[in-house]
Amino acid sequence: MRYEDFRREYLAGGLTRDMLAACPIAQFEKWLEQSVKAGLEDPTAMVLATVDAEGRPWQRIVLMKGVSAHGFVFYTNYGSAKARDMAAEPRVSLLFPWNELERQVIVGGVAEKMSFAESARYFITRPRESQLAAWASRQSRPISARVLLEKEVQVMRDKCGKGELPVPDFWGGDRVVPDRIEFWQGGANRLHDRFMYTAQAAGGWEISQLQP
Active site residues: 190
Query: Which of 118, 139, 131, 206 minimizes the C-alpha distance to 166?
Result: 131
Beta strands in the chain (DSSP E): 45-51, 57-63, 66-68, 71-77, 91-98, 103-113, 171-185, 193-199, 205-210
Q: Would you give the DSSP letter of residue 168?
A: P
The amino acid that residue 212 corresponds to is: P
Q: Please name the amino acid found at residue 166.
A: P
Cα–Cα distance for residue pair 143/139, rounded to 1 Å: 10
Residue 71 identity: G
Query: How is residue 162 annotated by DSSP?
Result: T
Spatial separation of the C-alpha atoms in residues 91 and 109, rounded to whole Å = 6
Strands (E) across 40-129 are located at 45-51, 57-63, 66-68, 71-77, 91-98, 103-113
DSSP reduced 3-state for 182: strand
